[in-house]
A and B are shown apart, each in its own frame.
Chain A
Amino acid sequence: MAKVTFATDVCKGCGLCVDACPKQLIVLSNDKINKKGHSPAEITDQSKCIGCAFCATMCPDCVIKVER
């Protein structure tokens, strides 16, 4: 069981993590907006996360912390 946490306030909503996730678990939020005015990335189903850290590898802004 892996856990990813997003530092939502520094996310710029570029979506590179969305494409990197091999399980297609990450989406850009439809209803939230952060301090910078972007739609931050969020995980849809935490229980399916395999903790590969591909999302964090591609994130330009070090938004994502991965634990396993």
Chain B
Amino acid sequence: MAVVFEKTKALTDAPLHYCPGCTHGIIHRLVAEAIDELGVLGKTIGVAPVGCSVMAYNYFACDMVEAAHGRAPAVATGLKRALPENVIFTYQGDGDLASIGMAETVHAATRNENITVIFVNNAIYGMTGGQMAPTSLPGQVTQTSPYGRDVKTVGFPIRVSEMLSALDGPEYIERVAVNNVKNVKAAKKAIKKAFENQINGKGFSLIEVVSSCPTNWGMTPKKALEWIDTNMIPYYPLGVYKDRSAVKEEK
């Protein structure tokens, strides 16, 4: 019998601390599989964020650095410039990348730093207990918006992929989701491409992964994945937002 699927060796044996049904586990696996399949496990350095995935360094079997809240792209910039032969990726949530780390993200993108950014968007602050994030949907009930996000007082959610794709700098921006098998497979392809771009020296690649947070959304894991389909994806449409190489080839 041939093995069709087993845990990739780019993940350690440590059991994940995430809540049951949290899609962080799927995204960790997709990143690890991409690293393993590209044969760069030995020279990959990951940058862990602050947030639920703060302990990501326990789970990836490569070298990891822990960054201050939101500063993962800045740390990754330093790593990549000092160690240009290594593959550098950051793994960040929406509270990390789209809130406190927005400046670092935008500037790393506009400088077209040759790094890979995995951005997990679950529209809420997970680790701190479900507060409203920059990406929380209008009307979404969270701990700090108990009557639903009121766009008149707190503004609208930030669509990070659309915003960054308006810059001339970044090489590749794509939004994917992990709410069903088809989307997970597409997400895997996107993440692998983001790593390939870096290996080929093309520059800044960001993959936004629309993800779930069953615990803080107050839903079962199954219901949370359905909520992605009915609420998240209509506001955060999936697709490639920027691909400079593809545009060049067309010309």
> Which A residues lie at the B interface, using CB under 8 A?
2-3, 10, 12-16, 19-20, 38, 51, 53-54, 56-62, 64-68
Contact = CB atoms under 8 A, between A and B. Distances in A.
Given A57-B5, A57-B185, A66-B3, A12 B21 contact: yes
A55 to B, nearest CB: 9
Contacts of B1: 3, 67-68
Nearest to A5: B6
Interface stretch (B23-31, B90-98, B112-120): B23-31
Interface stretch (B12-20, B39-47, B163-171, B243-251): B12-20
A60 B2 contact: no
Interface residues of B, number: 30
Contacts of A65: 3, 5-7
B222 interface: yes
Contacts, number: 74
Given A12-B20, A19-B222, A67 B3 contact: yes
A3 B25 CA distance: 23
A62 B225 CA distance: 18
Nearest to A60: B25
Contacts of B24: 60
Given A12-B20, A14-B21, A16-B221, A60 B26 contact: yes
B82 interface: no
B168 to A, nearest CB: 36
Contacts of B23: 60
A16 B225 CA distance: 9
A54 B181 CA distance: 6
Contacts of A16: 21, 221-222, 225
B15 A15 contact: no
